[in-house]
Structure 1
Amino acid sequence: MVHDLADGDAGRDRSEVLQRRKSMSKVDSVRRNLVRAASVALVGAFCAIAVPGSADAVVNGKNSTERYEFMASIPEIVPELNNAKGVCGAVLIHPRWVVTAAHCVDPGRNPAVPEGTVRIGSQRRTSGGTVRTIDRMVRHPGYQPGEPNKNDIALVRLDRPVSEQPIRVADRPGRPGTPTRLLGFGTTVDTADITKAVFPERLQQLDTRRGAESECSPGYADSTRLCTVSRKRDAMACMGDSGGPQVQRGKSGRWELIGVTSGPGDNDVPCANGPGLYTSVPAYADWIHRTIHGRN
């Protein structure tokens, strides 16, 4: 906003010109972000703008087969694009805290911004479960957007606790080859054109496995970023799945959280044809503990 540039009509004219330039700059910035992001599954991020539609497939997944109380979603809007709807995933790890991807709550890099609520424990993207207001968002201090994103993890505090059961964070991810499962409300159509993406109302799941670091592009996977490979052809998390969970079975047989969706493990292929990259939640256990108990 420009204030007190000059008096009279000349001042108003100048103010209007600056406002128009600022508005055009915002639109151009959003367009650049969207073009750069859409080129390959949002260039290292799986946040997306939603369009109406349904399908039975994360890409080539299937409808959820059980209720995942810990599953959460963060509705988003794109103000500069007529408030187009978007979504990011999140995971309940404490009655008042969810974990998600840092790029989901990074307004400097993501044209979509959180609407201000979190939906917890629903198999539906736009109904059911418990809805809470976002009280605070805390990105990891070492977060760096890029290809791939680094330290791509954030915590979101709810305005009050929920009754849904949080998931336990695993002590460590299983070794390469360990069976895992992905959950998300992301597009079920593998496309680089964001306007052709189709977002399901029903939660999707996909069975995967821990991949070796060498199964992702060089320099992508390490001790903080998990390479993840689908157990079926042409299937993987995609646009809209960012921040959602990667889980494995613990010794008790219950699901444990090992990762949150960060982006593709190979930017040279469509998301469904390559591996996925997941931020290792156990690698950030100390930071999570300090943040939750220092701000709770």
Structure 2
Amino acid sequence: MRFFMLTALLLVAAINVTLACECGLEGSSGRIYKGSKVRANKYPWLAHIRSFSSRNSRSFGQCGGSLIDETHVATAAHCVVDENNQVFRPENIDVFLGRVKAFSDRSKPHSVSKVWVDSQYERSNLAHDFAILTLSSPVKYSQTIAPVCLPNVESGLSKLTVSGWGTTAADASSSDDLLEVEVDFLSKNECNEVKKDFLMKQNGIPSSMRNRVKIDGVVDTHMCAINKKTKGDACSGDSGGPLMHRGGNGRYYLMGVVSGSWTECGQDEDTAGLYTRTLYYKDVIKSIAPNACWQN
């Protein structure tokens, strides 16, 4: 079956915070399908990422990402790996932080010095779809640029939030405004059931055959979510962006990064969004980004 990577191909036409382990707090006063506009700098860890196959080309792949410490941004592997499974050169990747508008803002990008991609990444099913970008120089935290918290547990999840600058529907253009949508967490069993229903529908298999249909379950690196009422979800160009849980302490936690789906957003509402689990990569993140803040 085909998996849809939520990237988009486009044509190019302070208050310093020094407290240790401050993370996940809203800043000063995304494509997201069926989403709403985000208040300026609400999520100061949001990164707008552009990957160029060559600096001589005006086209680039658009993705999202999340600042996890002063020099590292978490994103999806497919955002920085080309169709030939080659990792983009660091000098061909731009990272914009503190942006309100994806394209009409004129802030300068941060350069990248190193790209880490999970060597087990599988383009066919988006398993192990995770990457970490190392910035060439550390950023200064402010009300518009600050890191997100990382989770120590995945228990008790219910309502989550996705945010990004991707397209607003399957055939729409990317949004200049940052958008957000609330999604409902699905357990692995729930997600596998949704996947089975979708595949049966796609292949014209009657419901009477349901107990006889066997499918490959969702991979261990993924968690699933979808707005059960509106079917709102991430869309093209949102890849790599954050799946966030707002804790009772008011802080936001990066539970996952946007990975993909079984269809393009809005084409079939009987599906779910796939998100690479941050906690799966806890040891990797700690080794690459030791200053990232893990909290309960």
Q: TM-score range by the shorter chain?
A: 0.7 to 0.9
Please list, as runs of the form range in 1=range in 2, the aligned pairs for 1:1-296 lying within 5 A after superposition: 43-50=3-10, 58-65=32-39, 67=41, 68-77=43-52, 83-109=58-84, 115-126=92-103, 127=105, 131-147=109-125, 149-163=126-140, 164-175=145-156, 178-191=158-171, 197-213=172-188, 214-215=190-191, 216-217=194-195, 218-264=215-261, 266-267=262-263, 270=266, 273=269, 274-293=271-290
TM-score by length of structure 1 reads 0.72
SS in structure 1 opposite 2:32? coil
In structure 2, what is the Cα distance between the partners aligned to 1:59 and 1:81?
32
Structure 2 length-normalised TM: 0.72
- Unpaired stretches in structure 2, ≥5 consecutive residues: 13-29, 196-214, 292-296
Compute the displacement of 1:113 (Å).
Answer: 5.6
**SS at 2:95 equivalent:** strand
Q: Distance in 1 between matches of 2:70 and 2:33?
A: 30
DSSP-derived class of the 2:284 partner: helix
- Give the drift of 1:145: 1.6
Identity percentage of aligned residues: 25
| CA RMSD across the alignment | 3.1
Judge conservation of contact 1:185–1:200 (CA < 8 Å) in 2.
yes
- Residues 172-213 of structure 1 show CA distances to partners (whole Å, capped at 9, x for unaligned) of 22445x11000111111223xxxxx31111111001111122
For residue 50 of structure 1, give the secondary structure of its aligned residue in structure 2. strand
Q: Are the structure 2 counterparts of residues 110 and 182 from structure 1 closer, same or farther at C-alpha, using a change threshold of 3 Å? A: farther
Which letter does structure 2 place at the counterpart of 1:133? S
Asked if structure 2 preserves the Cα contact closer than 8 Å seen for 1:173 and 1:280, the reply is no
Which residue pairs with 2:27 in the alignment? none
Contact 1:136 1:157 in 2 (8 A): yes
Distance 1:254 1:139, change over 3 A: same
- Structure 1 stretch displaced more, 78-87 or 116-125: 78-87
Shift in CA distance, 112/159, structure 1 to aligned 2, threshold 3 Å: closer
The one-letter code matched in structure 1 to 2:162 is: L
Count of aligned pairs: 244
Give yes or no for contact 1:51–1:198 (8 Å, CA) kept in 2.
Answer: no
**What is the distance in 1 between the residues matched to 2:87 and 2:231?**
27
Q: Which amino acid aligns with 1:201?
A: D
SS in 2 for 1:106: coil
Cα shift at 1:121: 2.2
Greater Rg over alpha carbons, structure: 1
Q: CA deviation at 1:120?
A: 1.1
2:286 aligned counterpart, secondary structure? helix
Which residue identity does 1:173 align to in structure 2?
Answer: E
| Cα deviation digits, residues 1-58 of structure 1 (max 9, x gap) | xxxxxxxxxxxxxxxxxxxxxxxxxxxxxxxxxxxxxx97xx3311111369xxx971
Deviation at 1:85, TM superposition (A): 3.9
Q: Contact 1:225 / 1:278 at 8 angstroms: preserved in 2?
A: yes
1:227 is matched by which residue type in structure 2?
A: C
Unaligned runs of 5+ in 1: 1-38, 192-196
Deviation of 1:118 after TM superposition, in Å, equals: 0.2
CA contact (8 A) 1:125 1:201 kept: yes
CA distance in 1, matches of 2:128, 2:162: 20
Give the C-alpha shift of residue 128 in structure 1.
5.7
CA contact (8 A) 2:148 2:252 kept: yes
Q: Secondary structure at the match of 1:288?
A: helix
Q: Distance in 1 between matches of 2:232 and 2:58?
A: 30
